Structure 1
């Protein structure tokens, strides 16, 4: 405690911790700061998850488009399956879904 700056800091701390209004104001500010940081983290995380979900949806739509194009050209399910790696059952489901949409 020989350093005057340390002594002064300790006096300020003692005064601060004894002043209930000042301490409460500090706690509110700290909570607001932590809430803001948390909110910004969640926004960024949500954005990244949204982008990933969008990519997956886009890939799925492209897969369907390719399958439908190959079906329209008369490719058999097994050939489409071999080329795309999509199971023949899924190809049949895509074809049925497309047929339903055309009827509607």
Structure 2
């Protein structure tokens, strides 16, 4: 049997003001061991461009702080929608959330 994984306690943290400054600052203030973030507006379809330098800084900081990260996809996603526009936006938003998870070094994405 393998070693038992450590149970981590954390929270969904705010990102307005920056991933490092705001999200990780908040995580440190509450002594979080894991965090969940939105990589885009949770109630919209907009998909902001990535910032490689900011992503790298975030990955370096979470590694230094030993904080695990998960990306929460927008709430609007509905891959079972009969409306073509909603389905197409849902597919694109799912792909974006998975891409941002990878770019940020997250352990996974929460999509529901």
Greater RCO, 1 or 2 (C-alpha within 8 Å, sep 6+): 2
Select the structure that is richer in helix: 1
Structure number with higher strand proportion = 2
Structure 1-normalised TM-score?
0.22
Task: Give me the TM-score of the superposition, normalised by structure 2.
Answer: 0.21
Over alpha carbons, which structure has the higher Rg?
1
